[in-house]
Structure 1
Amino acid sequence: MNFFDFSFSTLGDPIRDLSAFDCGRKEINKFFQKDALDYQNELFSKTYLLSPRNDLDKVAAAFTVANASIFTRMLPNSRQKKVSYEVRHSKGPINYPAILLGQIGVDTHFAGHKLGAQIIEFVAQWFSSQENKSGCRYLIVEAYNEDRLLSFYAKCGLKPVFNDIEQERIYRHLDDDKPLETRLLYRDLILFRRKSIRN
């Protein structure tokens, strides 16, 4: 199935019953079922739903986006250079505008259609298009620190901001004994507009 085989709507327009939505992760199901509308009403994020065009009552996938930044001032020098790799006329360590793909879930009934990868590609192109109403240089994701998921996001063009877990632990001010549950990943959206300046 293709992304454009689905109807695209926002959460709450109209009110949708997400009680049967199951992406295989309880915490993500809970977010979409109980918290997403509150986040949206408080202007913290916006949630979008995909439904099969022949069954608009079903929710095949949901994702949430929010404004964000990559705070390069707080990154080690090597990471600043990595994130700024494609930036022309760099003005030093500044905060780069980004879109956060905060939550993403594909219902288990629609697994195997690469819908998650299609959503990521859609969001990346959407926020790098001429129609975008604000500056947005990067797509960022906080991915669960699991090899399978990190490999999936890598195939979608997202790279870790940090070289290793220890760097990221320092950036997040985590205690040594606390496991790193998520990794911060990014994708430079300028490459939808032009070729790399580094080739």
Structure 2
Amino acid sequence: MNLSDFSFSTLGEYSCDLQSFDCGREDINEFFRNDALQYQDELFGKTYLFSPRDNLNQIAAAFTVANASIFTRLLPNSRQKKVGYEVHHSKNQINYPAVLLGRLGVDRRFSGHNLGLQIIEFVAQWFAGDENKSGCRHLIVDAYNENWLLEFYKKCGLNPIFSSEEQERKYRQIEDSKILQTRLLYRDLILLKRTSKHNVK
């Protein structure tokens, strides 16, 4: 099952049954069912839907994206080098424009078909493409801090910005020493347009 098998639309473009959407995480369900439209109306993010072509009322998957940045000046030196690894030296030490994949859910009825992975690749290609209306260097995900989920995002080309939770707490100004509920991950979208500049002789 591929994304091309589904109809793609913006939330609000068609009448749809969001109340029956169930991705297995109640907080994400609640967002899409009750908050996504207002979130979109307030210009905080935009939600997109994939529906079966023969039933646009049903939601197979949904995701929300918003503008973001990686504030490089606030990163430790080693992290600046990591995030800016593919950036030409003349562009170092700036805030890199990014897109935040803020919410992503695949309905349980459509699980087992790698739709989540396909959506992440769709978003990456979309914002790296020529039709994107603004500069967007990185894809960012604020992922639940769960090993299996972090491994999933790693398969999608997303890696932690920070080497440790301690570094990330300082960047995010979190004083609590408890385990972080989420981790910031990133993917440099320039590699969808060219090969690594470090591999070119």
TM-score, with length taken from structure 2: 0.96
1:185 and 1:166 mapped to 2: Cα distance?
A: 15
The equivalent residue for 1:125 is: 125
Q: Deviations over 1:117-150 (max 9, x none)?
A: 0000000000000111100000000000000100
Q: Is the 8 A contact 1:84 1:90 kept in 2?
A: no
Deviation at 1:54, TM superposition (A): 1.9
Q: Deviations over 1:64-93 (max 9, x none)?
A: 000100011110010000000000133332
Amino acid at match of 2:121: E
Give SS of 1:100's match: strand
2:27 and 2:151 mapped to 1: Cα distance?
A: 21
Deviation at 1:182, TM superposition (A): 0.3
Deviation at 1:52, TM superposition (A): 1.0
Give SS of 1:174's match: coil
Q: Is the 8 A contact 2:165 2:179 kept in 1?
A: no
The equivalent residue for 2:32 is: 32
- Number of residue equivalences: 199
1:78 and 1:35 mapped to 2: Cα distance?
A: 38
Deviation at 1:53, TM superposition (A): 1.0
1:55 and 1:148 mapped to 2: Cα distance?
A: 32
The equivalent residue for 2:74 is: 74
Amino acid at match of 2:48: Y
Q: CA RMSD in A?
A: 1.0
Amino acid at match of 2:182: T
1:160 and 1:93 mapped to 2: Cα distance?
A: 19
2:137 and 2:3 mapped to 1: Cα distance?
A: 23
The equivalent residue for 1:143 is: 143
Amino acid at match of 2:64: T
Write out aligned runs for 1:24-103 (5 A): 24-103=24-103
Write out aligned runs for 1:112-191 (5 A): 112-191=112-191
2:193 and 2:161 mapped to 1: Cα distance?
A: 22
% of aligned pairs identical?
69
The equivalent residue for 2:197 is: 197
Q: Which has the higher helix share?
A: 2
Give SS of 2:89's match: coil
2:16 and 2:58 mapped to 1: Cα distance?
A: 9
1:76 and 1:46 mapped to 2: Cα distance?
A: 32
TM-score, with length taken from structure 1: 0.97
Give SS of 2:92's match: coil
Write out aligned runs for 1:2-17 (5 A): 2-17=2-17
Amino acid at match of 2:50: L
Deviation at 1:176, TM superposition (A): 3.4
**Shift in CA distance, 116/189, structure 1 to aligned 2, threshold 3 Å:** same
1:176 and 1:63 mapped to 2: Cα distance?
A: 30
